[in-house]
Structure formats: C-alpha cells, structure tokens
Structure 1
Amino acid sequence: MLRHFTQTRSIHSTRTLFNLKAAIADAIPKRREELLRIKKNFSDVKVGDITVGSVLTGMRGNQSMYWESTTLDPNEGIRFHGRTIADCQKMLPGAPEDNGDGEFLPESMLWLLMTGEIPTEEQSRQLTQELAERGAKLPSHTEKLLTSLPRDMHPMTQLAIALASMNKESIFAKKYEEGSIGKKDYWEYIYEDVLNLIAVLPRITGKIYSSLVNDGEPLGHFNVEKDWSYNIASLLGMTVRDSVNVHSLTKERSNDFVNLIRLYCGIHVDHEGGNVSAHTTHLVGSALSDPYLSYSSGIMGLAGPLHGLAAQEVVRFLVEMENDVDSVENVKQVEDYLWKVLNSNRVIPGYGHAVLRKPDPRFDAMLNFTEARPQEFKSNAKVQLMKNLSKIAPRVLQKHGKTKNPYPNVDSASGILFHHYGIDQLLFITVIFGCSRAMGPLSQLVWDRILGIPIERPKSLDLSSIKKLCKI
C-alpha cells in the first residue's frame, strides 16, 4: 500500500510548520464557514443569464461551477490565487541547487494551489522530499500492466490506463467501502490519494516514454534526493547525473531541460475549472470516485485534439512550413503560407483561445525561456520560425477577420521546445501536460470534499423545450 497516510486525530499532535496537510487543515474552518454563510444568505443571487445559445454551444461562459485556485480573465490571463505567472516566477521557491537562477518548482505551485499561500523555501523542500518518497516505487501491478501494453498504443491511453489501475491502491476507496469515515473526513483520504498519484507521475511518464523509444528499457533512474521535475527529466533520459541515455546533452543543456520541465509543468497546472480535463476530473470526482479514476477520466479529455493535443499539431505545422519556405526570416513567404492555410479553410494551430482575448501569458513565459538562452536556440530554424510567427500571424489573422483572438497561445511555443531537446515523439508531449495538469484539478478535488460540494447534475433540454422557450 502507498504510504504516508495520517488520520485526523494524529494530525494535530504531529503537525509541523512545513507540512502541507497541516497547512490545509489550518485553512479548513474559515473556508467552510465562508461557504456556509454564502449558501445560507446569498443562494438567490443571479449569476448572469443562461441563454439558448449557451445551451447549444457547449455551455460556453456559463458561470455555474465552483473553482477556487485559478481564475482566467480574457484580458489579463491566468491567475493562481490572484497571482500572475510573473508573480509566481518571482515569489515561488525553486530548486536549492539553482541558487535562484532556475524556474520555480511545480511543488511550490502545488502548495499555493492547495493553501492559497506562497510556501517558504523550507515548506517547498519538505513537499519535494515527501513527493519523492511517495513516488519512489510504482505499484507492481501498474508497472506490469504498462509493460504489457502495445508499444504503439497512444501514450495518453497508456497514461489513463495506468492511473485507473492505481484505483486498487486508493485509500479513500477502501475506507469508503468499509463505511468507516464520515463526510467531513473524506478530504484526508482524498488528499493522501492525490499526493500519491502526483508523486508517481514521473515513474509512469518514464515508463511510457521508454516503451516508445527504448523497447521498454529504462532511460534513467529515479533519484529520491531530487525534485519532481528532475525525476521526470531523468526518466526521459535527459539528465547527465541519473540517466542511462542523455541524448548527447551537456550538463548545461541537461539543466536547461530540467528547467523547461519545471516551467512547463509549473504554468500548466490549472486553467480554471471549465476546461475539459479539469471539468471532467471534477465531474467524475463529484460522484465520489477516487482521485485515480477521476483524473484518469480527465486524462482522456486532455487527449482530445481540441484540448491537450494542440502542441503536437504546432510542431507538425512548423516542420511543414519550414520545408515550404526558402527562409524562416522571409516575412512575405511566411505570410503567403499563412494565407494559403486560411484560404483552404484550415486553422493556424497555436493561435486563438476559447477565453483569452489577449496574448497568452504562458506563451510569454515560454518565449522568455528561449530569449534567456539565445545561443541554445539560434541555430534551430523551427524555433526561430515560432518566434517570427508570433509577430506575423496576429497581423494576418486580424486582416482575415474571423478569429476573436489572433494572438499566440502557449501551444505555439511549448511543443517545439521539447522537440528541440530531442523529444520527437509528438503524441508523447501531452503526457508531460498530463503530469502538470494533475495538480490543479486534484487540488480542487481535495477542497470539493472539504466543502462538501455535491454531485454535479445540470438540467438538460431537448429540442422541443428549446423551441417552446423560443416561441417557435
């Protein structure tokens, strides 16, 4: 059985300043009281007007879902408990060995998502160590199952299967079946499952990638002394110290790749609750399905071409365009190529967003990563094309006039940076996305159980009802 479960009665006797679970427990009374007061006194307050158009277009924009950790403003972008990506890059702790020069740790972001507070260096290190200890071993039945899957099975299918199989290890599911816990204690067992799930994602990810590129033989080692992102990179064969195959990376390039994982996973953790992977995790979790089942369903949503697979489409697009133009610096040829795409009723992948109406701050963060390493990327024509497109494509799309947001989103940059370092299995890139996205929806799942958020059950309408509403 996975470890580190602590019951409520013992939390208060063993509480330390640096423990994430204790910090959540401290926040619970106030949060529960606030929610109860709002439900009691303000349940009749209207939240906009739901229209027939909204019913028929995917409930777009309906304000009918509780989500605590992130908000997405069309003009300002994503905020994590009110803090921008730039704020997080300044405030969240990074790895001690980077001496403040690297990216913040996703573990630090996990603390922020769970508690609403910026962790101290010591709190971040404690959580890093705890996740490393929890993730040191993958359940044997999950490892055997992954080994048995066809090598050419979609990587996201493999990830979903692996996570669903870990339902066997669910502490919450076992305790619920025994009938030994009350509703107010659900969150503790959910919390244990959530941290155990997040902790083993590096191992699952490395296992899937080794099956794709190395006939299942390990590409690296799990280092219990290192952080979560480092272990993802190591098990992809991308660290000098702990990898079997380092893709000919120098120590400096290896460190850069680890920081790319940290940055990518740190800024992809959440994007409000309405996106498919987050909403699906929340929906399935609302039925009291354990975190493994809930997030495996979220992964299936993330695998959709309209959600998590966009980055790979951008890589294909950049490869095709580079082959079609004489020079990625030739603005006229790039513009002509884009018009050819638009005039054939195709889209320019990596541009536009369902909510945002301004440039995606996550794209800016990825672009800044390249700007800080000019020597690393100057000879990669595809990366240079990505950068040039961010200036050219918005002008073309604005002139085209059919795109509400003509600016680059994060997918326009992320995939090509992984490709640059040698991750050329394009379907696999979304697995890394899946590692990151676990943190947001699963943090919310803990708070859903703390606050007693009920099963989600919207009212549906048939066409006859809609026609009656429209007086047709």
Structure 2
Amino acid sequence: MASILRTSRTRPVWSALARARFSSTAPKNTTLKERLAELIPIELENVKRVRAEHGKKAFGPVIVDQLYGGMRGLPALIWDGSVLDADEGIRFRGKTIPECQELLPKAPGGEEPLPEGLFWLLVTGEIPTQEQVTELSKDWAARSAIPEFVEEILDRCPPTLHPMSQFSLAVTALNHNSAFAKAYQDGVSKKEYWGPTFEDSMDLIAKLPNIAGRIYRNVFGQGKLPAIDPAKDYSHNLATLLGFGDNHAFVELMRLYITIHSDHEGGNVSAHTGKLVGSALSDPFLAFAASLNGLAGPLHGLANQEVLTWLTKMQAKIGANASNEAVKEYVWATLKGGQVVPGYGHAVLRKTDPRYTAQREFALKHLPDDPLFKLVGQIYNIVPDILLEAGKAKNPWPNVDAHSGVLLTHYGMTQMQFYTVLFGVSRAFGVASQLIWDRALGAPLERPKSYSTQAIEKMFKDKA
C-alpha cells in the first residue's frame, strides 16, 4: 500500500501515515471488506501524494545487460504486500517472518500463524484480531465448494497429467462464475472495480483446498474427498482434504508453509505474471491461472521437487549417515557434472533465506532425528564454502526450496509432483491481495518497451 523508499542502509522508510497504519492492529468489529473500503480512499490520496512528490524522479539506471539478463534487478513494478531485501530477507507489510509468527493470531493449541491472518495483513497492513480471523475462516469455508462441472473436469483428467496442469485447468474454469467479469460486462464504474475483484479473490482462495484435495486424491488414489469443516481453519481443512488432518504437526506445518510461501515481492515469475495478466482486467481466476503456469516451471515452483530428488539420490549413493567428506565429494561431483546444487542461491537474497530458517526451526522442534533433515543440516554446513570456492554463486546460501520437501516427506507426503500445488495454494494469497489493490488504485495496463538487438546496436552507434 504505502510507497517504499530506500536509504543507503537499504532499510524500509515508511510515510507517517503508513507507519501509523502498519504498526497497529485492525479495528475491532469490522470485516475485511469493510476495513478495505475504509483504507482505499486513504491510500488513493497517499499514492497521489507520492506521485506528485516523486513521479518525475529517476529510480535508477537501466543497462543493456539487464535487458538480456531477464530484467534482473530492474525496478519496474509496484508491489505492496511484501518487499525483499538482499540482506534482510522478506517482510510482509513491513513485518519479518519471526514477527508474523509472534503477532498473527493462532489456532487454539497451535503455535504457527494462521494464513487467514497473513492475508488480512497483506490486504490491510494490519494485524487482525482473533475474532476477525475466525470469521475469515468461516467465510472461506462457506465459499469453498467448487462447481460440479469443475469437479468433472478434474475427475476426467488422466492421472498422468501433471497436478499443476490440472490445477491451472480448474482455476481457469472458475472464471465461469467470476463476479468481476460479470460486473465489467454490466458496466461497473472503474472506482468500483475493487469490489467484485475482492469477491473473486475470496472465492479463489476459498476454493483452492477443494481443488488441491481433489487433484491429490484423484492422482494418488487416496479415496473420497471429505467435506470442508466450517468450524476449522483454512490449513486444517486443507490438511484434512489431503488426508493428514489427524496429524497436528502436519496441520501446523501447513499453517507455516502457506504463510511463508504466500508472497515474495512482485518480480518473481508467478507474482509478476498474475499482476501482468490482471493489468489487462482479466479476472482473478484467469490471472492466477497464468501465475500457476509460471510457477510450474523448474526454475520457480518445481525447485523443491528437484531438491528432494537430489537429496534422495545422494542418500542412496553415500548412505544415510555419510561423513562430511563423502557429502563434499558428492557436491563436487554434482558441480563438475555441469549441474547446480538445487536449493542454493537466489536471484535477490545474499544471505540464508529466512523462510529456510523458519522451516529449519520447525524441523528442530518436530523432527530433529529425521535422517533427511540431518542431511539437509549437514549440507547447510558444507555447500556454501564449496560454492564460494567454485565461484558458482554470488549467494551460496540456501533458499526456501532447500527445506520444504524434506518436511512434507517426513509426514508421509512423498508425492513430489504435488509439492508445487501446495506452493500454488500459498502464492494465491499474495497475488490476490495485490490484484485487489491494483483494481482499487486504478493500476494501468502493463506495456513495457522492448528493443531488438539491432535497435540497441543502432542506438549506441548513433550516439558515438
């Protein structure tokens, strides 16, 4: 919501209005939509002020290597839900992962933050009350049913079709009942775009557990899908639909997993794709389906699957309790074979990913003796020095993907092809919250300028 400027120390500097709002808890006795309606006019004025004061200022240089290098580091987007600092890691509306773990409401008997609270934070910048989170859980449960024709689409998919392809199909089909698409066709005012976008976003998030559960049970033969329990929170229902609802630790893992995977700034493939497609006024279902197709790539959401494959191959080759020397030899063999060490390095981060740290702390608490977890910890102490010695990475530290698959495997979810679906359920929180604000603030169609190699050569030749 609030524009973020950077000091020389790369610490976020917030406007007085934003500081006041971001440090507060949500007002009691308001729903999320009611609170959003109160915040929109305030933020419209804030954006207007920021553009008036800074709109003509240069944000930074653009060099040719950035154009050829996948726009790496190119400042080009407004993304309000989270900001990624190279040294500090991710902050959700100004709050670190440990702060979210401490401040966000929790389920009775639980220790991890409820994703419902994280979504409220992403949308409003405020910490909701326990009662507000409970009402949000009930709202999502009430919206959770998917149309019968979508169930039929999923049931007709061959089990050999990748779960992410099925996921994208189902989300795309939800467009059939889009509130925004209908409102736009009926001539809704631009100022009111955010309302039906909010409704679609709530429906989207609410229906994802049923979609994910149906895919999981169809592909991996887990039997009939149980019903959503309106008295349970989002993560508990998701775990139940996947067949793990009776395992308290797995339910807690889902709460942590969704929270830390929900958003990671706007430049990653899934987030940027959702924003780009949404800028064409495609409804949230179409925008998020596009996000899922980007997330399905091996350089993005499939990375955790590749990590687990690499770990299990290593364990099979050198044994479950291998020496440090044996691990080092395997890592060097991976690099000399022209491959990367999966789960290490990040496009932005220059330290250990806080999301990795959160998962490691969870594992130390719940599964300290798991053989694969021990191997992950052993690798953590070995790989960074090897990568630095080999000159293979500016950031030799682990990212979120280095750990998540090990946790899921420990609790019996061994079907690696499904892991990215869980990532997709999580990422909907960040994409949807930004789409709501893009509609509220009247974000324009994205249309950057492109150049050919010949045009670049001519440009600099003419300047010579």
Q: For residues 201-220 of structure 1, what are the structure 2 equivalents within 5 Å?
A: 201-214=208-221, 217-220=223-226
Quote the offset at 1:109 in angstroms.
0.2
Do structure 1's residue 316 and structure 2's residue 325 form an aligned pair? Answer: no
Residue from 207, 226, 229 that aligns with 1:223: 229
Do structure 1's residue 156 and structure 2's residue 168 form an aligned pair? Answer: no
Do structure 1's residue 140 and structure 2's residue 148 form an aligned pair? Answer: yes
Q: For residues 51-62 of structure 1, what are the structure 2 equivalents within 5 Å?
A: 51-62=63-74
Residue from 115, 118, 126 that aligns with 2:135: 126
User: For 1:349-395, what per-residue CA distance to the aligned partner results, in whole angstroms no more than 9, with x for missing partners?
Assistant: 0000010000000000000001112xx441x3222111211111112
Do structure 1's residue 352 and structure 2's residue 345 form an aligned pair? Answer: yes
Do structure 1's residue 24 and structure 2's residue 36 form an aligned pair? Answer: yes
Name the structure 1 match of 2:240.
234
Name the structure 2 match of 1:50.
62
User: For 1:85-123, what per-residue CA distance to the aligned partner results, in whole angstroms no more than 9, with x for missing partners?
Assistant: 01100000111x21xx42100110000000001111111
Residues of 1 paired with 2:30 and 2:331: CA distance? 52
Unaligned 5+ segments in structure 2 are 1-26
| Equivalent position amino acid for 1:156 in 2 | M
Q: For residues 58-457 of structure 1, what are the structure 2 equivalents within 5 Å?
A: 58-95=70-107, 97-98=108-109, 101-135=110-144, 137-179=145-187, 181-214=188-221, 217-240=223-246, 254-373=247-366, 376-378=367-369, 380-457=370-447
Unaligned 5+ segments in structure 1 are 1-14, 241-253
Residues of 2 paired with 1:328 and 1:397: CA distance? 23
Quote the offset at 1:219 in angstroms.
4.9
Aligned residues of 1:328 and 1:334 also touching (Cα < 8 A): no
Aligned residues of 1:276 and 1:301 also touching (Cα < 8 A): yes
Residues of 1 paired with 2:89 and 2:355: CA distance? 8
User: For 1:8-63, what per-residue CA distance to the aligned partner results, in whole angstroms no more than 9, with x for missing partners?
Assistant: xxxxxxx9823000111111111001112233343211010011111111111111
Name the structure 2 match of 1:10.
none
Quote the offset at 1:152 in angstroms.
1.3
Name the structure 2 match of 1:6.
none
| Equivalent position amino acid for 2:196 in 1 | Y
Residues of 1 paired with 2:193 and 2:425: CA distance? 24
Residues of 1 paired with 2:395 and 2:51: CA distance? 36
Residues of 2 paired with 1:120 and 1:438: CA distance? 22
The aligned length equals 436
Residues of 2 paired with 1:79 and 1:239: CA distance? 30
| Equivalent position amino acid for 2:309 in 1 | R
SS at match of 1:159: helix
Aligned residues of 2:269 and 2:294 also touching (Cα < 8 A): yes
Identity %: 45
Residues of 1 paired with 2:328 and 2:28: CA distance? 59
User: TM-score scaled by structure 1?
Assistant: 0.90
User: For 1:118-162, what per-residue CA distance to the aligned partner results, in whole angstroms no more than 9, with x for missing partners?
Assistant: 111111111111111111x21111111111111110000000000
Say what the alpha-carbon RMSD is for the aligned residues: 1.4
